[in-house]
């Protein structure tokens, strides 16, 4: 890792705290709700199809997920479902939005050690209110110099982030669990990236790229950052 890193940005969901397993639990409940109509794997496939089709309109996060569940429910039941099932989906969404925040092991300790030597940034995508809530309840907000909740995490979004924080790509390091969102766009800009895989990954974030770059490293645990930067 180069010694002239000035800014370290962290993805939030499944990098700082647990997120995807909670969506999976909600999806399992949704599939159970529709068990009399289609097998669970078919319901999941239909939901994913709806989510990806709605991405440009709804973006990411729990609220977009709920809207896609309702649309999928109506399609699968051929619009013959009663309001009771729709209400159950809405209740699932509210429960998801009120889940406690579970910070991943080692995160706080690493942030404490890095703070003071680097400018620390949260660079995440998703629903604004939900991400703000999770950050507040995580107890981690005080460790960051800047919070950026992005509509997406494409190259142009990172270019805007770098402009906002006044950092050149060669001085920027992104840390996250998604190769698609946290690594590839940053490498394209000329920055550095550390991939920390999470045991559950949303299908939309999966890529098959083999990355061969001197500006890319992979870690099994966030604590390895300290060694990489030493």
Tell me the Cα Rg of the chain.
Answer: 19
**Fold match between 7-17+101-228 and 20-97?**
no
Query: Which listed CATH number (3.30.1950.10, 3.90.650.10, 3.40.50.1000, 3.90.180.10) goes with 7-17+101-228?
Result: 3.40.50.1000
Residue 41 CA to residue 28 CA, distance in Å, equals 10
SS3 for 117? Answer: coil
How does pLDDT run across 103-128, given as a tens digit for each residue?
999 999 999 999 989 999 999 998 99
Sign of CA dihedral 122, 216, 224, 220: positive
**221 token code pair:** 């645990």
Residue-level pLDDT at 1: 62
Q: Mean pLDDT score of the chain, rounded to an integer?
A: 94
How does pLDDT run across 140-187, given as a tens digit for each residue?
999 999 999 999 999 999 999 999 999 999 999 999 999 999 999 999
Sequence-ordered list of residues with C-beta below 8 angstroms from that of 189, at least 6 positions apart, any chain: 155, 158, 159, 162, 169, 172
Residue-level pLDDT at 2: 65
pLDDT at 214 over 80: yes
Could you count the other beta carbons within 10 Å of the beta carbon of residue 175?
27
The answer to whether 50 and 8 have CB atoms below 8 angstroms apart is no
* Domain range annotation of the chain: 7-17+101-228, 20-97
How does pLDDT run across 23-61, given as a tens digit for each residue?
999 999 999 999 999 999 999 999 999 999 999 999 999
- Of 4-8, 74-78, 200-204, 225-229, the one with minimum mean pLDDT is 200-204
Name the superfamily (CATH) of residues 20-97. Answer: Putative phosphatase; domain 2 (1.10.150.240)
Mean pLDDT of 201-221: 85
């Amino acid at each position: 890792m180069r010694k002239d890193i000035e800014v370290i940005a962290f993805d939030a969901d499944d990098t700082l705290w647990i997120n995807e397993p909670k969506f999976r639990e909600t999806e399992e409940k949704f599939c159970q709700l529709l068990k009399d109509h289609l097998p669970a794997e078919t319901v999941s496939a239909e939901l994913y199809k709806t989510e990806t089709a709605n991405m440009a309109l709804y973006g990411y996060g729990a609220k977009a997920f709920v809207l896609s569940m309702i649309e999928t429910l109506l399609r699968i039941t051929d619009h013959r479902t009663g309001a009771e099932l729709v209400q159950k989906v809405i209740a699932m969404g509210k429960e998801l939005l009120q889940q406690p925040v579970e910070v991943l092991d080692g995160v706080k300790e690493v942030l404490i050690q890095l703070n003071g030597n680097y400018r620390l940034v949260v660079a995440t995508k998703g629903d604004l209110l939900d991400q703000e809530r999770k950050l507040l309840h995580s107890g981690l907000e005080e460790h960051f110099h800047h919070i950026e909740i992005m509509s997406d995490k494409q190259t142009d979004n990172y270019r805007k982030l770098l402009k906002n924080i006044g950092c050149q790509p060669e001085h920027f390091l992104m840390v996250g669990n998604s190769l698609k969102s946290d690594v590839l766009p940053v490498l394209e800009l000329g920055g550095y990236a550390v991939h920390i895989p999470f045991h559950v990954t949303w299908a939309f974030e999966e890529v098959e790229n083999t990355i061969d770059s001197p500006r890319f490293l992979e870690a099994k645990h966030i604590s390895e950052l300290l060694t990489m930067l030493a």
